[in-house]
Amino acid sequence: MDTPDALDTILTRRSIRKFSPRPVNSDLQKTLLRAAFAAPSAEDAQTKRIIVVTDRDTLDSLAVLHPSAGPAREAPLAFLICCDTSVTPQTIFWPQDCAAATQNVMLAARALGLGSLWCGIHPEDTREQAFMAAFDLPGMVRPVSLVIIGYPLQDFFDEERWEPKFVCQNRWGHPFEPVSLPAD
Ligand SMILES: Cc1cc2nc3c(=O)[nH]c(=O)nc-3n(C[C@H](O)[C@H](O)[C@H](O)COP(=O)(O)O)c2cc1C
């Protein structure tokens, strides 16, 4: 497998919803976890906690907890990314910390030739309660996202999404006009 460079990894990551049952070995699982914890964290509070889900019955049950988690019935792995809100220093930015970790896991997965799907939990209260009950989370541990992971049965591809109309320069309403520099 050719490993894409960092920019290609970002540009060709896509949500994958069809997975092979092929297991993801423990070295790759650890790499994905290292990527999660390498994410930026407000005040460096490191409140992230992750449940690695490999048990087949538990993976199969995820579709009952989340409307988009059907692909976990085929996938061999999922990460439940949570925040321990009792940790000090505490930060109001814990949802963003967990979102950054989620994105890091997905980008690392892409770089390793693995597919992933972000299933949003927080701030949907019903989903939070369902995951807290199913995974025995103590009250101070809040689930933020479920990431389903596995070898993809779909292709990765680049999709150009940025448009000049979505970008302003210096202040709202001023069109973005990049200036070429001589060194370019
Ligand atoms: C905060 C967040 C929550 C998401 N929740 C879901 C979800 O519940 N179900 C789902 O199928 N996809 C979910 N997604 C994935 C988006 O649908 C997907 O990223 C978007 O359609 C763009 O496609 P791409 O990931 O292939 O670029 C979520 C993405 C984000 C950032």
Any domain includes 56: yes
pLDDT value at 14 more than 80: yes
Name residues whose C-beta falls within 8 Å of residue 77's C-beta, 6 or more positions apart in sequence.
23, 24, 29, 52, 53, 54, 59, 148, 149, 150
Model confidence over 40-60: pLDDT tens digits?
A: 999 998 999 999 999 999 999
Residue whose entry in the numeric block shows the structure tokens 């896509």:
14
Rounded Cα gap, residues 26 and 115, in angstroms: 16
- Kindly report the average pLDDT of the chain as a whole number: 95
Non-local (6+) Cβ contacts of 74 within 8 A are 18, 19, 20, 21, 150
Residues 89-137 have pLDDT tens digits of 778 999 999 999 999 999 999 999 999 999 999 999 999 999 999 999 9
Report yes or no on 23 lying in a domain: yes
Question: Where would I find the beta strands (DSSP E) of 26-159?
Answer: 48-53, 77-84, 115-120, 141-150
Is residue 146 in a domain?
yes
Q: Of all residues in the chain, what percent carry a pLDDT higher than 90?
A: 89
Where do we find the tokens 């479920």? Answer: 146
Answer yes or no: is 171 within a domain. Answer: no
**Burial call 38-70: b when 16+ CB within 10 Å, e when fewer:** ebebeeebebbbbbebeeeeebeebeebbebbe
Nearest CA, atom 23, ligand 1: 15
Between CA 104 and CA 149, with CA 135 as vertex, the angle to 5 degrees is 35
Q: How far is the CA of 121 from the centre of ligand 1 (A)?
A: 11
Structure tokens at 49: 């906690």
- CA–centroid distance, 122 to ligand 1, in Å, is 13
Site residues for ligand 1, CB cut-off 6 Å:
14-15, 68, 117-120
Residue pair 82/50 in contact (Cβ under 8 Å)? The answer is yes
Number of domains in the chain: 1
pLDDT tens-digit series, residues 16-36:
999 999 999 999 999 999 999
The answer to whether 58 touches 71, Cβ cutoff 8 Å, is no
Ligand 1, atom 29: nearest CA belongs to which residue? 118
Q: Which of 11, 14, 15, 17 has most ligand 1 atoms within 8 Å of CB, for mutation?
A: 15
Let me know if residue 179 belongs to a domain.
no
Residue 173 lies in a domain: no
Per the domain annotation, does 183 fall within a domain?
no
Cα(120) to centroid(ligand 1), Å: 7
Amino acid, res. 153: L
Q: Whose CA is nearest to atom 14 of ligand 1?
A: 118
The pLDDT assigned to 97 comes to 95
Report the CATH number at residue 124. 3.40.109.10
**Among candidate residues 15, 57, 40, the one with its CA nearest the CA of residue 149:** 15
Q: Is residue 182 assigned to a domain?
A: no
The residue range of the domain holding 104 is 6-166
